[in-house]
Structure 1
Amino acid sequence: MVGRLILILGDQLSEDIAALREADKDADVIVMAEVGEEGSYVPHHPKKIALVLAAMRKFAARLREAGWQVAYSELDDTENTQSIAGELLRRADQFETAQMVATRPGEFRLIAALEDCPLDVEMREDDRFIASHAEFEAWAEGRKALRMEYFYREMRRKTGLLMEGDQPAGGKWNYDHDNRKPAPDEVDFSGPMQFTPDAVVEEVLELVEARFGTHFGDLRPFWFATDQGQARRALAHFVRHGLARFGDYQDAMLADNQFLYHALVSPYLNIGLLDPMEVCRAVEDAWKAGDVPINAAEGFIRQVIGWREYVRGIYFHEGPDYATRNGLNHQRKLPDFFWGAETRMRCVSKAVAQTGELAYAHHIQRLMVTGNFALLAGLNPAEVSEWYLAVYADAFEWVEAPNVVGMSQFADGGVIASKPYVSSGAYINRMSDYCKGCHYRVSVKTGEGACPFNLLYWHFLDRHRDRFSNNARMGNMYRTWDRMDDEKRATVLAEAEAFLERMGRGETV
């Protein structure tokens, strides 16, 4: 008989996780479990599954080396019940204890599973984040609009990052205006650090190949960091070689360069291999040393202590129904080209192909290519959200749902965004080289070869006029639409409808 079971989930791979504090190495047993239910509640990308499982196995080994007793369930263990709750009950019987300690999971689905578990469960808050739930609620109380910028400033004050006394370094809170340059002619960053699979990783790859090989996405080559040491090396590599130009080109896209100056450390942050303050201090130190400009350092730090913390706060503030909201009543089914079927839209094709290959696309590819198309076309946000949750290595519901339901699809009715993030093909053409060589022509507004983004942009504005025409940030869009003659408007709407009908029938568009 032991004292308590200490549950560690696959995105809680931090030695200072709350559930481990005050635990007794001599009496308590750590429970970790690879379960089929977690790999398949959405069809997760094989790379994502492999990353989590490999990192879990290495973390369990570290805990054992540190003197902990670890009851670890491998996916192909014949006694594995294939659910977190089932494995907890199995271990409770094995070790004759009903006492369990867990760090509160990052999604309501798992929180409910633990609350329903017939054990004596103590759930501790996940304090790896900078803002506690209580702090976010205190900030949100009484506000008419929960805008990230003002929350971000509170996080800057709390952490002291890029602060000079009580003022922001350089005199400005936000350097986003400097961070919108179109794609450069050349990129002198080789991309994220890549790691050759070791024996542990290779064993996991073979397991994932056998168990989840039918899921969308390429498992190999696999080069993610799978332990804390590798993740720290990947961070150092980015700070030294990529950070300086991250700010300038963070919104840019290139068909033949999948990373530009992006770090790709979000998967490591989100499963616990890196700590957010550790990441931000490394970036701030590079700025203090004069190695990177302030717009790069501020832009990156804002993504971590601003946006990442903010969307987590929104997810828990809004509650369990948030991920299923559909404020614009969009009902079209997700087309097959999101799962790799052919599309003539080069921007979408490139973004989806990269996603399948890497389990990664950067935030503008997600927001202004696939997300923009989904919103313009009126795709069901629940299907869109499930797709993002499935295909990206850094996607867990607490971070994915606000980004998709709120920021990308405006399905939360404006909790996050003050206006929908929609654009015609002109934005994609300005920020990328995707339009070169596309079947469609971005300069063509109607008729043969017209860019679907151009048609759907006006179609979206027209069908939601009652909702958005009085939005101060969208007035110019509607004034432009109203200046078009009646015949042109009718042509745009008819051609957009025809495109949507062809897409709905499964034709190649």
Structure 2
Amino acid sequence: MVSPRLVLVLGDQLSHSLSALTKADKATDIVVMAEVMAEGSYVRHHPQKIALVLSAMRHFAEELQEQGWQVRYSRLDDPENSQSIAGELLRRASETGATEVLATQPGEWRLIAALEEMPLSVTLRPDDRFLCSEAEFQDWAKGRKQLRMEWFYREMRRKTGLLMEGDDPAGGQWNFDHDNRKPAKPNMFRPRPPRFDPDDVTAEVLDLVEAKFSGHFGRLRPFGWAVTRKEARKALTHFIAHALPSFGEEQDAMLKDDPTLSHALISPYLNLGLLGWREVCEAAEAAWKTGKAPLNAVEGFIRQIIGWREFIRGVYFLEGPDYTARNALGAARALPPLFWGAKTQMSCLSAAVGQTRDMAYAHHIQRLMVTGNFAMLAGIDPAEVHEWYLAVYADAFEWVEAPNTIGMSQFADGGVVGSKPYAASGAYIDRMSDYCGNCAYKVKDKTGPKACPFNLLYWDFLIRHRERFQSNPRMAQMYRTWDRVEDARRKTVLAEAAAFLSRLEAGEAV
């Protein structure tokens, strides 16, 4: 008699094409899925994120059972639940006599280590749901002095043929940023992403999450995320038809009363495995080919998927388990309470954090140029910033979140992801948003009691790190500008920045 193997399916591996499932034997092997406190609380995940993962897992387990798989599913409130992935594998091994585990490699070094240390024979298969394998990325990166997404992205375009005309990019250029990234104006007719009413499975999960994770930052209800592939496909179809045409122009814009603009909000579904990169990109390309969306919007969207998303994953696995501990700028200030919803007089931070609390969502510029920019300028410990981003966003899994935070947002990796820090004064936020109009601070004020904190912290950051950045050709002009400022004014800027940071450390409502 053939002994069964345990086939592990994690909460972000909800794909029927998962490499562990395709190599398993439906007749003899047993699928193991587990809701465990260890995964819900190793950082204090947003309640909506937890509910999304648990409901999607339960629906996926039902689909597997309908397809004839034997599934051993551990619910969070099962009194026999050991509350860890490793513990549940051991429990199921004891029940079934299995000694082998077949799994697809997790997207987090923490879980990879936990599986490799188990007293069972564990086979980790590559996660082939991505365009670029880890080995392929390592080959691409080998010998390069700098890893730059733009060059990687071009290789992925050539590999897939997406938006290519023979050997040349469609439209004669690789990206169309000069046509994109414009400010947006309020528009009551702008389409909103679809929301999905909770079914009985999701309703049960919401009650469970409310009972177990009520102390976590974030509002659980109303909950409207897609929890099945069918619903995720509807979300994709809606985006392609209604929002993709204006995505390019609006992708970097921010409006306080319009949290979604023309964004897709499909990244949670991609990262859970409910959607695949190819179907998403081919749907966008088809919209361009049929004249339903302009090339600048489609190219900008596809670049996010096969360019940035794949590049970031490559960096995570290339750099290794210590990546999240990096702190190249020596930032050590504690994450201030305003990130957890405490009162702030800064309109932009209030909007970004409030939206995060309510939706478990903020788009990439809110994350990079508002909360991330502030954290970097203020010298917040990048490990705390990383844990915050990992906790509060529905699409945040470490393989994608860590390089975006440690690398792109905080420059804590010293330049692996980006060639310079994404530092900006209040002028950028004012140009790309409507946040500044009703702020207690004045974005045009460079000094004084109403000076925008971003204006003060921007120069304070540059001067703190002058030795590192002044020779960077992309930053040299900023230092030349500073050097032309009269000495008395420079002293005022730095003194007021120091006073602001002191108030921040003291827990005052800045």
Q: Which whole-Å CA distance do the structure 2 matches of 1:381 and 1:73 have between them?
A: 34
Q: Which whole-Å CA distance do the structure 1 matches of 2:189 and 2:455 have between them?
A: 33
Equivalent residue of 1:436, what SS? helix
* CA deviation profile, 1:345-377 (whole Å, cap 9, x unmatched): 000010000000000000000000000000100
1:153 partner letter: R
* Offset of residue 188 of structure 1: 3.2
Q: Which whole-Å CA distance do the structure 1 matches of 2:187 and 2:470 have between them?
A: 41
Report the equivalent of 1:210.
211
Report the equivalent of 2:422.
421
The answer as to whether partners of 1:148 and 1:310 remain within 8 angstroms in 2 is: yes
Report the equivalent of 1:374.
375
Equivalent residue of 1:70, what SS? strand
Report the equivalent of 2:101.
100
Report the equivalent of 1:256.
257
Q: Which whole-Å CA distance do the structure 2 matches of 1:183 and 1:481 have between them?
A: 31
Aligned length: 509
* Offset of residue 191 of structure 1: 1.6
- Percent of aligned pairs with the same amino acid: 66
| Mapping for residues 43-192 of structure 1, pairs under 5 Å | 43-186=44-187, 188-192=189-193
Q: Which whole-Å CA distance do the structure 2 matches of 1:162 and 1:129 have between them?
A: 19
1:20 partner letter: L
* Offset of residue 317 of structure 1: 0.4
* Offset of residue 3 of structure 1: 1.6
Q: What is the Cα-based RMSD across aligned positions, in Å?
A: 0.7
Q: Which whole-Å CA distance do the structure 1 matches of 2:51 and 2:431 have between them?
A: 36
Q: Which whole-Å CA distance do the structure 2 matches of 1:219 and 1:447 have between them?
A: 40
Larger mean CA deviation between 44-53 and 181-190 belongs to: 181-190
Q: Which whole-Å CA distance do the structure 2 matches of 1:275 and 1:185 have between them?
A: 32
Report the equivalent of 1:222.
223
What is the TM-score when the length of structure 1 is the normalising length? 0.99
| In the alignment, structure 1 residue 268 sits paired with structure 2 residue 269 | yes
Report the equivalent of 2:407.
406
Equivalent residue of 1:242, what SS? helix
Equivalent residue of 1:253, what SS? coil
Report the equivalent of 1:492.
493
Q: Which whole-Å CA distance do the structure 2 matches of 1:461 and 1:490 have between them?
A: 14
1:219 partner letter: L
What is the TM-score when the length of structure 2 is the normalising length? 0.99
2:104 partner letter: T
| Mapping for residues 195-344 of structure 1, pairs under 5 Å | 195-344=196-345
Q: Which whole-Å CA distance do the structure 2 matches of 1:377 and 1:22 have between them?
A: 49
| In the alignment, structure 1 residue 15 sits paired with structure 2 residue 6 | no
The answer as to whether partners of 1:330 and 1:381 remain within 8 angstroms in 2 is: yes
1:207 partner letter: L
Q: Which whole-Å CA distance do the structure 1 matches of 2:3 and 2:136 have between them?
A: 36
The answer as to whether partners of 1:441 and 1:449 remain within 8 angstroms in 2 is: yes
Report the equivalent of 1:396.
397
Equivalent residue of 2:438, what SS? coil
The answer as to whether partners of 1:7 and 1:19 remain within 8 angstroms in 2 is: yes
Q: Which whole-Å CA distance do the structure 2 matches of 1:485 and 1:370 have between them?
A: 31
2:64 partner letter: L
* CA deviation profile, 1:287-339 (whole Å, cap 9, x unmatched): 00000000000000000000000000000000101111000000000000000
The answer as to whether partners of 2:186 and 2:258 remain within 8 angstroms in 1 is: no
Q: Which whole-Å CA distance do the structure 2 matches of 1:140 and 1:48 have between them?
A: 33
| Mapping for residues 452-491 of structure 1, pairs under 5 Å | 452-491=453-492
Q: Which whole-Å CA distance do the structure 2 matches of 1:393 and 1:177 have between them?
A: 30
* Offset of residue 21 of structure 1: 1.3
* Offset of residue 25 of structure 1: 1.2
Report the equivalent of 2:39.
38
Gaps of 5+ in 2: none
2:103 partner letter: A
* Offset of residue 187 of structure 1: 5.6
Q: Which whole-Å CA distance do the structure 1 matches of 2:147 and 2:433 have between them?
A: 31
Report the equivalent of 1:450.
451
1:224 partner letter: W
Superposition misfits of 4+ residues, deviation over 6 angstroms: none
* Offset of residue 108 of structure 1: 0.1
* CA deviation profile, 1:220-266 (whole Å, cap 9, x unmatched): 00000000000000000010000000001100000110000000000
Q: Which whole-Å CA distance do the structure 2 matches of 1:324 and 1:341 have between them?
A: 27
The answer as to whether partners of 2:6 and 2:32 remain within 8 angstroms in 1 is: yes
Q: Which whole-Å CA distance do the structure 2 matches of 1:189 and 1:487 have between them?
A: 48
Larger mean CA deviation between 395-404 and 188-197 belongs to: 188-197
Q: Which whole-Å CA distance do the structure 1 matches of 2:73 and 2:261 have between them?
A: 39
Q: Which whole-Å CA distance do the structure 2 matches of 1:374 and 1:188 have between them?
A: 34
1:450 partner letter: A
* Offset of residue 2 of structure 1: 4.1
* Offset of residue 192 of structure 1: 1.1
2:115 partner letter: L
* CA deviation profile, 1:446-470 (whole Å, cap 9, x unmatched): 0120000000000001110001011
Q: Which whole-Å CA distance do the structure 1 matches of 2:501 and 2:100 have between them?
A: 55
The answer as to whether partners of 1:332 and 1:378 remain within 8 angstroms in 2 is: yes
1:220 partner letter: R
* CA deviation profile, 1:138-157 (whole Å, cap 9, x unmatched): 10011111000000001001
Equivalent residue of 1:105, what SS? coil
* Offset of residue 426 of structure 1: 0.2
Equivalent residue of 1:191, what SS? coil
Equivalent residue of 2:436, what SS? coil
* Offset of residue 186 of structure 1: 2.1
The answer as to whether partners of 2:360 and 2:394 remain within 8 angstroms in 1 is: yes
* CA deviation profile, 1:365-401 (whole Å, cap 9, x unmatched): 0000000000100000000000000000000000000
